[in-house]
C-alpha cells in the first residue's frame, strides 16, 4: 500500500475516533463530569440508526444522522435533567463516575435483552464500496465523508463555544458556576444542553461507526476506551486536542495493521502510552478555548 494512501485512510479513521471522543471532551470540560455511559449511548444510536433504516427501505443512512442526532439531543437533555444533575455538584469526582458506571451497566444489558447478541451494521448501499482514485491512490468515499463530517462538526462546535452567547455562558459555567449564576446564567440548564450536545455528537459517531464496522450491545466499553484515549492524549476538555488525538490514534492503528495484520487495537494503545508518558497533560493540555 502506498504511504500517502495509508496516511489519508489513517486520517479518515482518526476523524471517526475524534468524533467518538469529542462528546466526552465537551462534557468533561464543561462539567468536570466523567460520563462512563458515553460508549453505551454511541451503541444505542447505532441501534436506532439500524432500525430507522429498516423503516425507510432504500434510504441512504447518511440522511438518518440528523434525525438520530436530534433524538439523542433530547435524550441527553432529559438524562442530565432527571439523573446526572443530582451528582454534578458532588465535591469529589468519584460520584459521577460511579453513577454513570451503574447507568452504563443498565443500558448495556437492556440493549442485550432487547436486541440479542447478533452482530449488526448499517449498510450504506453502494456507497460503502465506492472509491475515488486520485493519482493512483484509491480512497473510499465513505471514509472521506466521515472525515469531512468530523471536521465540519469540530469547526461548528468550536464556533458555537467560542463565538456565540450560549458558548460564552458555557465557558463561564465551566470556569466558575457560582459566579456564572450571579451573572444570570442557569448552570443546570447549561449542563442539560451540554449533555444534549454531547449525546448528539455521540449519536453522529455511532451512526458513522455502524456504517464502517459492525457492533453488538457489548461494543460500548471498547468505544468508551477509544473515546477516553482520544481525550486523554488530546488533553481534557480540548476539542482540537480531541481531533488531533483521533488523527494520531487512527494513523497508529492503520500503520500498525500495515506491518502486523492481526494487531487489532494494540498499536493504538502503544501510541496512547507514547504520548501520555511524555506529556501527561495531553497534547493540548488547556481548558476550554
Partner 1 sequence: MKALIALLVCAAIAAAAGLLAPVYDWAGGLRFASEMFLYLAMAQMWNLLAGYAGLLCMGQQMFIGLGTYCLFYTSLQLHVSPYWAMPVSFVFCGLMAALAALFMFRLRLVYFAIGTWVLSDMIASFISRTPELGGASGYQLSDVLPLINFDWFDEVIFWIAAAIAFATVWGAYALMRSSVGLGLMSIRDNDLAASSLGVDVWTNRFIVFVIAGAGCGLAGAVYFTAQLAMGPAQAFDPNWVVAMLFITIVGGIGTLEGPILGTAIYFALREVFTNVLGLSGAWYLIALGGAAMVVMLYAPNGLWPVVRDRFNIRGLSVRRQPPKSLLAQPAE
- The C-alpha atoms of residue 118 and residue 112 are separated, in whole angstroms, by 9
Hey, what's the cell of 240? 482540537
Is 99 an interacting residue with respect to partner 1 (CB under 8 A)?
yes
User: Least distance (Å) from partner 1 to the CB of residue 229?
Assistant: 6
Of 12, 16, 47, 66, nearest to 209 (Cα)? 16
Is 82 an interacting residue with respect to partner 1 (CB under 8 A)?
no
Binding mask 23-42 for partner 1 (x = CB under 8 A): -----------x--------
Q: Which residue, 183 or 270, has its beta carbon nearer to partner 1?
A: 270
Write phi, then psi, for 236 (nearest 5 degrees): -55, 130
- State the CB neighbour count (10 A cutoff) for residue 48: 20
- The C-alpha atoms of residue 275 and residue 265 are separated, in whole angstroms, by 16
Is 258 an interacting residue with respect to partner 1 (CB under 8 A)?
no
Binding mask 220-239 for partner 1 (x = CB under 8 A): -x---x--xx--x---x---
Q: Which residues are 140's β-sheet partners?
A: 131
**Identified binder of partner 1 from the candidate list 113, 178, 182, 259, rule CB under 8 A:** 113
Sign of the Cα pseudo-torsion (151, 155, 161, 162, in order): positive
Hey, what's the cell of 285? 493540555
Is 276 an interacting residue with respect to partner 1 (CB under 8 A)?
yes
Which stretch, 10-18, 108-116, 192-200, 240-248, contacts partner 1 (CB under 8 A)?
108-116
Hey, what's the cell of 265? 487495537
**Identified binder of partner 1 from the candidate list 6, 71, 105, 128, rule CB under 8 A:** 105
Is 89 an interacting residue with respect to partner 1 (CB under 8 A)?
no
Return the residues of window 145-174 that contact partner 1 according to CB under 8 A.
Answer: none
Burial 179-217, CB ≥16 within 10 A → b, else e: ebeeeebebeebbbbbbbbbbbbbbbbbbbbbbbeebbb
Q: Which residue, 74 or 112, has its beta carbon nearer to partner 1?
A: 112
Maximum pairwise Cα distance, the chain: 60
- The C-alpha atoms of residue 112 and residue 277 are separated, in whole angstroms, by 37
Q: Would you tell me which residues interact with partner 1 (CB under 8 A)?
A: 34, 83, 86-87, 90, 93-95, 97-99, 101-106, 108-110, 112-113, 221, 225, 228-229, 232, 236, 262-266, 269-270, 272-273, 276-277, 280
Amino acid at each position: 500500500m502506498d504511504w500517502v494512501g495509508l496516511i489519508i485512510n489513517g486520517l479518515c479513521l482518526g476523524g471517526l475516533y475524534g468524533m467518538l471522543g469529542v462528546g466526552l471532551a465537551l462534557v468533561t470540560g464543561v462539567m468536570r463530569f466523567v460520563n462512563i455511559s458515553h460508549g453505551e449511548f454511541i451503541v444505542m444510536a447505532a441501534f436506532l440508526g439500524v432500525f430507522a433504516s429498516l423503516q425507510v427501505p432504500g434510504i441512504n443512512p447518511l440522511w438518518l444522522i440528523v434525525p438520530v442526532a436530534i433524538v439523542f439531543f433530547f435524550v441527553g437533555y432529559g438524562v442530565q435533567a432527571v439523573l446526572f444533575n443530582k451528582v454534578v455538584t458532588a465535591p469529589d469526582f468519584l460520584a459521577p463516575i460511579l453513577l454513570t458506571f451503574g447507568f452504563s451497566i443498565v443500558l448495556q444489558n437492556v440493549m442485550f435483552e432487547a436486541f440479542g447478541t447478533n452482530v449488526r451494521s448499517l449498510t450504506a448501499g453502494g456507497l460503502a464500496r465506492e472509491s475515488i482514485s486520485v493519482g493512483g491512490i484509491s480512497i473510499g468515499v465513505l471514509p472521506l465523508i466521515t472525515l469531512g463530517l468530523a471536521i465540519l462538526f469540530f469547526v461548528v462546535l468550536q464556533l458555537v463555544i467560542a463565538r456565540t452567547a450560549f458558548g460564552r455562558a458555557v465557558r463561564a459555567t465551566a470556569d466558575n458556576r457560582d459566579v456564572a449564576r450571579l451573572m444570570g446564567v442557569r448552570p443546570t440548564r447549561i449542563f442539560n444542553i451540554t449533555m444534549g450536545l454531547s449525546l448528539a455528537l455521540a449519536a453522529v459517531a455511532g451512526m458513522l461507526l455502524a456504517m464502517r464496522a459492525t457492533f453488538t450491545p457489548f461494543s460500548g466499553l471498547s468505544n468508551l476506551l477509544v473515546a477516553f484515549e482520544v481525550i486523554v492524549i488530546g488533553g481534557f476538555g480540548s476539542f482540537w486536542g480531541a481531533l488531533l488525538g483521533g488523527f494520531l490514534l487512527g494513523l497508529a492503528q492503520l500503520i500498525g495493521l500495515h506491518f502486523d495484520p492481526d494487531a487489532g487495537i494494540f498499536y493504538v494503545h502503544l501510541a496512547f502510552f507514547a504520548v501520555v508518558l511524555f506529556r501527561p497533560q495531553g497534547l493540548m493540555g488547556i481548558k476550554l478555548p
